[in-house]
Structure 1
Amino acid sequence: MLAAVYEPGNERLVLDKNYPIRELKDNEILLKVAAAGVCHSDVALLTGVTLDTRRYIFGHEACGIPVKSAGVKVDSHAVQIDKLYSVLAIDGCVRGLNGGPALFNSIGIGKDGAYAEYIITTVDTLVPVPNGVPPEVAAIASDAGVTAYHAVQNAAEVKPGDKVLIFGIGGLGHLAVQYAKHLGATVYACDFKPAARKLALKLGATEAFDLIELSNKITGGFTVDTTIDFIANNQTFNLAMGALRGNDVNFPSRPKCVLVGASAENLVFTTEDIITSGVQILGSTYGERSTLVTVLDLFAKGIVVGHVHAEPLENINKVIDELRAFEITGRKVVIPHSKA
């Protein structure tokens, strides 16, 4: 089968037209990949953040259709052949290797993923896609959709009347704007790209700032209850803290700074600052199976809309280069061209 393969030391994926499909084990099932989302995590992995020495297929954001091939422990009634399913990027059974984090031993990150015509996964990772949700959207729901929703609903605990500031209106951030709006918040957005700010306003943000505009706004007294940062570098963190510190703290109610993005930068704060301002700094990573069910339902009902563009799998390196250059607004997915 055609697959886009990570090879250690190579900053571009290798297109292998003859990547083998291994024999299935136990409760594994073979899916024909319908679409796979392209994530900024791929850029980080390709630039050597994990120093991974394994060779495997990238692609951790996926949806697909089961084919008849299945492991010996798979109940024939557990899945429906020819039904579209989203695939959980990380499930509760994933464990790290040699003391490493479980995140680096999941599909597309350590194990063969979805930048291929077929993917092997386990039955418990499959969530049926409601009617009306296209494959491109079902794919981004499995990671971008889940991660953004968990950050807004569970980590930030956004509620009606909250003022929420979201940094980075990309693949995750454009969904977070809609989730927060759906939960009754007044939403503000910050992104250096004009197209991203325009998209945020279209999706319901009250105002959208570039970094300088936001800095000036904070100097003028602008505050929010919660920030959700999908970039998480020094500049966005300092702006977030500035927007949160200005609140009149009524203990135990505390402003929240939720970090979702990954960067190699050290974010600097003092414990005195946190104690006196009351700001809670929280990390948020992925979500549960029930979150994916909720996200797919929001897409099916049209409450949340995915800003998605599709490319053929053969263009995967082009798409990753566009991510590196911050040229993508919303999310891109790749579509394998299987002949089967």
Structure 2
Amino acid sequence: MKAAIFHGPKKPLSIEEVPTPEPGPGEILVDVAACGVCHTDLHYIDHGVPTFKKPPVILGHEVAGTVAALGEGVTQWQEGDRILLPAVYGCGQCRMCREGRENICSQMIMFGNNVDGGYAEYMLAPAKDVLAMPEEIPLIEGSIIADAVTTPYHAVVNRGQVKPGDQVVVFGCGGIGLNLVQIAAAQGARVIAVDLMDEKLDWARELGAHETINAGETERVDKAIRKLTGGG
């Protein structure tokens, strides 16, 4: 199979032919349809942030695809099933995992960091952590859901408990910020987006922001926010 191999910081990814992995017990082989590019990957490549698995390693943790093969003991999936992978998954054995709090597993494993990820035609994943992708969601567009969408969703809905009439200020309109704008607006909040780039602020307005502030052209962002929120 072809894969984009990370050989270390300050080096371009190398497209190489590597063996297609075989799923072991409890694993599935994923035929990768798409893998998003997260800024985390750029930190590895451009800034030298270390990966837990020493290079060479296949990066990528925003993955959607189909089941290509099943490992021993896997019965909950069939070949051809449309799937979404989480960015990280728990060990399934520590105290936190046993309590259903896999998000704070003491031995968290991240695709494209601890193990090879989705910058490849195929990759392995634990069958227990795979999610079904609804037919109405395209695999390519849906690949970012488990990272760049669920992260702001958790912040807005679960932690912030944003409700209609609330006011939400979003600082930074990158991928996660723009998704947060959409989610907060969908919750009925009045959204104020802050960024340094007018192009990103235009996107924020298109995606649901009611007001925008260019922080590079505003002397006191805090005062501008208070003016828009009536002092809140």
Q: TM-score, normalised by structure 2?
A: 0.84
CA deviation after TM superposition for structure 1 residue 62, in Å = 0.4
Residue identity opposite 1:72 in structure 2: E
Between the aligned residues of both structures, percent identity stands at 34
Once residues 214 and 129 of structure 1 are traced to their aligned partners in structure 2, the CA distance between those partners, rounded to angstroms, is 43
Residue identity opposite 1:34 in structure 2: A
- Name 1:7's counterpart in structure 2: 7
Q: For residues 37-90 of structure 1, what are the alpha-carbon distances to aligned partners after superposition, in whole Å with 9 as ceiling and x for unaligned?
A: 0011111122212265342100100001011x2211211xx1132222111111
Note if contact 2:36-2:143 (Cα within 8 Å) is conserved in structure 1: yes
- Match status 1:66 vs 2:70: no
- What does 1:153-164 correspond to in 2, within 5 Å? 153-164=157-168
- Name 1:147's counterpart in structure 2: 151
- Point out the more displaced range, 129-138 or 113-122: 129-138
- Name 2:49's counterpart in structure 1: 49
CA deviation after TM superposition for structure 1 residue 94, in Å = 7.2
- What does 1:1-340 correspond to in 2, within 5 Å? 1-16=1-16, 18-46=17-45, 47-50=47-50, 53-67=54-68, 69-75=69-75, 78-93=76-91, 102=107, 105-219=109-223, 222=226, 247=232
Cα distance change, pair 80–70 in 1 and its aligned pair in 2 (3 A): closer
Note if contact 2:164-2:187 (Cα within 8 Å) is conserved in structure 1: yes
Q: For residues 88-140 of structure 1, what are the alpha-carbon distances to aligned partners after superposition, in whole Å with 9 as ceiling and x for unaligned?
A: 11123279xxxxx755x411122110010011101122211112211122101
**Runs of 5+ in structure 1 lacking a partner?**
96-100, 226-242, 248-340
- Name 1:260's counterpart in structure 2: none
**Runs of 5+ in structure 2 lacking a partner?**
94-105
Note if contact 1:164-1:224 (Cα within 8 Å) is conserved in structure 2: no
Once residues 220 and 195 of structure 1 are traced to their aligned partners in structure 2, the CA distance between those partners, rounded to angstroms, is 20
CA deviation after TM superposition for structure 1 residue 12, in Å = 2.2
Once residues 148 and 184 of structure 2 are traced to their aligned partners in structure 1, the CA distance between those partners, rounded to angstroms, is 15
Note if contact 1:37-1:140 (Cα within 8 Å) is conserved in structure 2: yes
Give the secondary structure class of the aligned counterpart of 1:222: helix
Which 4+ stretches in 1 moved above 6 angstroms?
Answer: none
- Name 2:102's counterpart in structure 1: none
Give the secondary structure class of the aligned counterpart of 1:4: strand
Cα distance change, pair 10–217 in 1 and its aligned pair in 2 (3 A): closer
Cα distance change, pair 156–102 in 1 and its aligned pair in 2 (3 A): farther
Q: Give the CA RMSD over aligned residues.
A: 2.6
Give the secondary structure class of the aligned counterpart of 2:162: coil
Cα distance change, pair 184–214 in 1 and its aligned pair in 2 (3 A): farther
Give the secondary structure class of the aligned counterpart of 1:24: coil
Note if contact 1:165-1:224 (Cα within 8 Å) is conserved in structure 2: no
Q: For residues 172-198 of structure 1, what are the alpha-carbon distances to aligned partners after superposition, in whole Å with 9 as ceiling and x for unaligned?
A: 111111110111211010111221100
Residue identity opposite 1:35 in structure 2: A
Residue identity opposite 1:6 in structure 2: F
CA deviation after TM superposition for structure 1 residue 161, in Å = 1.6
Note if contact 1:178-1:204 (Cα within 8 Å) is conserved in structure 2: yes
Once residues 62 and 80 of structure 2 are traced to their aligned partners in structure 1, the CA distance between those partners, rounded to angstroms, is 19
Once residues 37 and 110 of structure 1 are traced to their aligned partners in structure 2, the CA distance between those partners, rounded to angstroms, is 18
Give the secondary structure class of the aligned counterpart of 2:63: strand
Cα distance change, pair 94–116 in 1 and its aligned pair in 2 (3 A): farther
Give the secondary structure class of the aligned counterpart of 1:175: helix
Name which structure has the greater RCO, CA cutoff 8 Å, separation 6+.
Answer: 1
Give the secondary structure class of the aligned counterpart of 2:175: coil
